[in-house]
Amino acid sequence: MTTHPLPPKTSVPGQLRAGLLDQVEERLRGLLAGEFDRWHAVNPRAASLVGSITELVRAGGDRIRPVICVTGYLAAGGDPTSTAIVDAAAALELLDTCFLIRSDIRDNAPLRHGIPTLHVSHAAEHERSGWRGESRRFGEGTAVLAGDLALAYADRLASRLPAAAWQLWDELRTERVIGAHTDAACATEYLDDPWPGRCIAGCAKGCGAGWYALHHPLLLGAALAGRQDLATSYRDYARPLHAAWRLRGFLEGGPGYDWDAQMLREVLLGTEERDTAERIISQLVARADRVVDAAPLAPGWRDELAAFAIRISGLSE
Q: Can you tell me the distance from the alpha carbon of 156 to that of 147, in angstroms, rounded to the nearest whole number?
A: 14
Which is nearest to 105 in space by CA: 66, 142, 79?
A: 142
Task: Please report, in angstroms and rounded to a whole number, the separation of the first and last CA atoms in the chain.
Answer: 27
- Size of the chain, expressed as the number of residues it contains: 317
β pairing state of 115-116 and 111-112: antiparallel
Cβ atoms of 84 and 311 within 8 Å: the answer is: no
Mean pLDDT per 10-residue section of the chain, whose length is 317 residues = 47 91 97 96 90 91 92 97 97 95 90 90 94 95 96 96 95 89 76 67 64 91 97 95 89 63 62 84 96 95 94 82
Would you say residue 5 lies in a domain? Answer: no
In which element (H, E) is residue 222 found? helix 215-224
Q: Can you tell me the distance from the alpha carbon of 197 to that of 247, in angstroms, rounded to the nearest whole number?
A: 9
Helix (H, G, I), strand (E, B) or coil at 3: coil
Structure confidence at residue 170 (pLDDT): 94
Structure confidence at residue 1 (pLDDT): 39
* Chain centre to alpha carbon of residue 77: 23
Would you say residue 6 lies in a domain? Answer: no
Query: For 108-196, where are the alpha helices, taking DSSP H only?
Result: 118-129, 135-158, 163-188
Would you say residue 57 lies in a domain? Answer: yes
Would you say residue 1 lies in a domain? Answer: no
Cβ atoms of 179 and 210 within 8 Å: the answer is: yes
Cβ atoms of 241 and 310 within 8 Å: the answer is: no
Q: Can you tell me the distance from the alpha carbon of 272 to that of 316, in angstroms, rounded to the nearest whole number?
A: 19
Identify any residues that bridge with 116 across adjacent strands, giving them in sequence order.
111
Would you say residue 148 lies in a domain? Answer: yes
Would you say residue 92 lies in a domain? Answer: yes
Structure confidence at residue 246 (pLDDT): 87
User: Is residue 43 exposed (0-12), middle (13-18) or buried (19+ Cβ within 10 Å)?
Assistant: exposed
Owning domain of residue 223: 12-313
**Dihedral over Cα of 134, 136, 139, 141: its sign:** negative
Structure confidence at residue 78 (pLDDT): 97
Count of CB atoms situated within 10 Å of the CB of 125: 15
Would you say residue 201 lies in a domain? Answer: yes
Q: Where in 37-116 does DSSP place strands (E)?
A: 111-112, 115-116
Domain tally, the chain:
1
Would you say residue 2 lies in a domain? Answer: no
Q: What share of the chain is helix, strand, coil (3-state, %, to 5)?
A: 75, 0, 25
What CATH number is given to the structural domain containing 210? Answer: 1.10.600.10
